[in-house]
Amino acid sequence: MVGLCGRGTMGACVRAFGFAFLIFKAFSQRSVAGLSLKTLELYAFVFFFRLSSILRYQGYLPYDRSGDWLYSFLEIVALSLCCGVIYLVTVRYNSTYELRYDTFGWLHLPSELGALYILLPCVLFGMLIHPNLNRNWFSDVSWTIALYIEAVAILPQLFMFQKRGGGAVESCISHFVYALAFGSFLHLVFWFSSYHELGEKDAGQHVGYTVIFVQIGHMLMMADFLYYYFKRCKRLQAASRWTRAERRRRIQRGANQARSKAE
């Protein structure tokens, strides 16, 4: 049975698998239709800031053996895969990228820079409220910025789902988003058991509570998508059962007809 600290590493593994699945989808379909470049860019920043913290310090690593190297390795793999998907969207399969749906932000900032509406507030918030496990300002702030960005990085993709038509979800991309949600849930379980370590003796537990609040907020943000995702999976499962039953009936009818002719 996976321990609580191991679930943090498992969450990183699930997230990396989600990006690997995206690359498989893009190459197999020769298309990146339905993908939000802004969400991909934000996740690239998530991995960059997190690696800036955990590669040199160990304060935010799982305290089991996976924290020795596996967790960091999975984050490097996820960053590499994420950058690979960004390359496919911006270069190789750019003709299939749906920029008209991938709009996020307001005021006068160009749509291509819409990710800044999420990135800049998260950077500022991370500088103001952050733990001090590594006792290094840059490392602590970098880890916190990654946490805040990850909590809302999926927003452009969810907006794109809605703009493409009534919340319709493209199958392969929906599996990717579910992988991100499941990975985040595992991280929530991990930090729910460890948030007290983020507090200061003199300052209290407000930083730990903030981390838990951010994680729960992220899951609530995903709740609507997850509802329709599981509803769709249930419908497809029912359709698959009906198809198998219909195939068996046809085979049985064919066998009965063959016996009738033989008689």
Highest mean pLDDT: which range of 3-12, 26-35, 155-164, 206-215: 26-35
Q: What residues contact 188, with CB distance under 8 A and at least 6 apart?
A: 212, 215, 216, 218, 219
Domain assignment of residue 180, yes or no: yes
Domain contains 33 = yes
Does some domain include residue 68?
A: yes
C-beta neighbour count of 105 within 10 angstroms: 17
Task: Give the model's confidence band at 245: pLDDT under 50 very low, under 70 low, under 90 confident, else very high.
Answer: low
Q: Cα 155 from chain centroid? A: 11
Predicted confidence band of residue 80 (pLDDT cuts 50, 70, 90): very high
248 found inside a domain: yes
d(CA 153, CA 151): 6
Average pLDDT over residues 98-125: 84
In a domain, 213, yes or no: yes
Q: Is residue 85 part of a domain?
A: yes
Residue 34 placed within a domain: yes
In sequence order, what are the residues at sequence separation of 6 or more whose Cβ sits closer than 8 angstroms to the Cβ of residue 216? 188
Split at pLDDT 50, 70, 90, the class of 149 is very high
Token output for 11: 């969450």
What confidence score (pLDDT) does residue 169 get?
55
In angstroms, the CA 141 to CA 123 distance is: 8
Which residues lie below 8 Å from residue 250, measured CB to CB, with a gap of 6+?
none
Tally of structural domains, the chain: 1
- Which amino acid is it at 50? R
- Contact, 133 vs 198, CB < 8 A? yes
Pairwise CA distance, residues 248 & 222, whole Å: 39
Domain range for 132 is 4-192+206-262
Residue 238, token pair as written in the block: 């029912």
pTM given for the model: 0.83
Give the range among 46-55, 68-77, 157-166 with minimum mean pLDDT: 157-166
pLDDT at 44 over 50: yes
pLDDT of residue 224: 84
Calpha distance 205→126 (Å, rounded)? 16
Backbone angles phi, psi at 115, to 5 degrees: -65, -20
Q: Is residue 198 part of a domain?
A: no
Amino acid identity of residue 166, one-letter, is G
Which residues pair with residue 200 across a beta bridge?
204
Structure-model confidence comparison of residues 224 and 235, the more confident one: 224
102 closest CA partner among 91, 92, 115, 116: 115
Closest of 87, 98, 105, 92 to residue 40, by C-alpha? 87
The CA distance from 223 to 181, in Å, is: 9
